[in-house]
Amino acid sequence: MVTMTYFKRRAGRAVLGAVLALGAVGGLAPGAQANDFGYPSGCCSFADNGQHWYNDDSLESRTKSAFRYAMGNLDAQSVMSDAYDASPNASTDVEAYDAYYVDTWDLDWDGSTTGYNLYGYAKCVKAIAPTPSEDDWRCDQYEVRFDLRDVDGFSTDQRRALACHEVGHTVGLSHSTESSSCLRTGAHTTVKYSAHDVSHLYTRYGPRLSKPMSGGGAK
């Protein structure tokens, strides 16, 4: 019996600053709209642009498979254009890791203290502060981490759903109340984004992107 709950509660907070420590638990109020988008209206700052580079070299095969599946979905379902970055650097948009985490990022990975067992977590590790001409937080680099302690008990679709969920945070999507969205919480098997999620991504990234990525593009 799976007892817990949150794939991940919020992302992008540490780098965004101590001022946020008490507030903005992104958009989880019951009965709220399907999900908030961006930061601080939601949990997670936007990606820096519609071209989403990732590196997953350190993942185990099972988590890598799920992560690639999720990235493939994001690319196929939305205006985001995703590509593997063979030469990762500090501007690579998503770096993925897995381990049997205990207290990494000062999180309670098994929920023994908080009551929220974390399956994974997406965090902005290189935020781009708003400027006078652009009033949204963006993120140059997210890290996504998967807790193998949970993954050990997951089915293929649960792994894919978890990856879909965390990858969704890296493009600014908050938790969803829709059964059709992998951004909902819990050990579900929804492996794709909802139409609502996809429309969010279009409004943010669509006008800025000509898809597909053709051998380049800003990380």
Which positions from 8 through 37 interact with Zn ion, judged by CB under 5 A? 8
Structure letter (DSSP) for residue 37: B
* Binding site partner of 13, from Ca ion, Zn ion, none, Cβ cut-off 5-8 A by kind: none
Per rule CB under 5 A, is residue 140 in the interface with Ca ion? yes
Per rule CB under 5 A, is residue 85 in the interface with Ca ion? no
CA angle 97, 110, 193 (to 5 degrees): 55
Per rule CB under 5 A, is residue 123 in the interface with Zn ion? no
Per rule CB under 5 A, is residue 170 in the interface with Ca ion? no
Give the containing element (helix H, strand E) for 75: helix 61-77
Q: Which is nearer to Zn ion, 163 or 209 (CB)?
A: 163
* Binding site partner of 147, from Ca ion, Zn ion, none, Cβ cut-off 5-8 A by kind: Ca ion
Across 40-92, the runs of DSSP E, i.e. the strands, are 46-47, 51-55, 81-84
For residue 10, CA distances in Å to 21, 89, 112, 155 come to 11, 24, 18, 24
Q: Which of 73, 83, 26 is closest to 49 using CA atoms?
A: 83
> Which range touches Zn ion (CB under 5 A), out of 2-10, 82-90, 130-138, 153-161?
2-10
> Which range touches Ca ion (CB under 5 A), out of 5-13, 21-29, 40-48, 167-175?
40-48
What are the start-end ranges of the H helices in 170-210?
A: 195-205
* Binding site partner of 59, from Ca ion, Zn ion, none, Cβ cut-off 5-8 A by kind: none
* Binding site partner of 73, from Zn ion, Ca ion, none, Cβ cut-off 5-8 A by kind: none
Strands 138-147 and 120-128: antiparallel
Q: Exactly one of 109, 137, 142, 205 binds Ca ion (CB under 5 A); which one?
A: 109
- How far is 68 from 82, CA to CA, in rounded Å? 10
Q: Which residues make up the interface to Ca ion (CB under 5 A)?
A: 48-49, 51, 91, 93, 109, 117-118, 140, 147, 150, 219
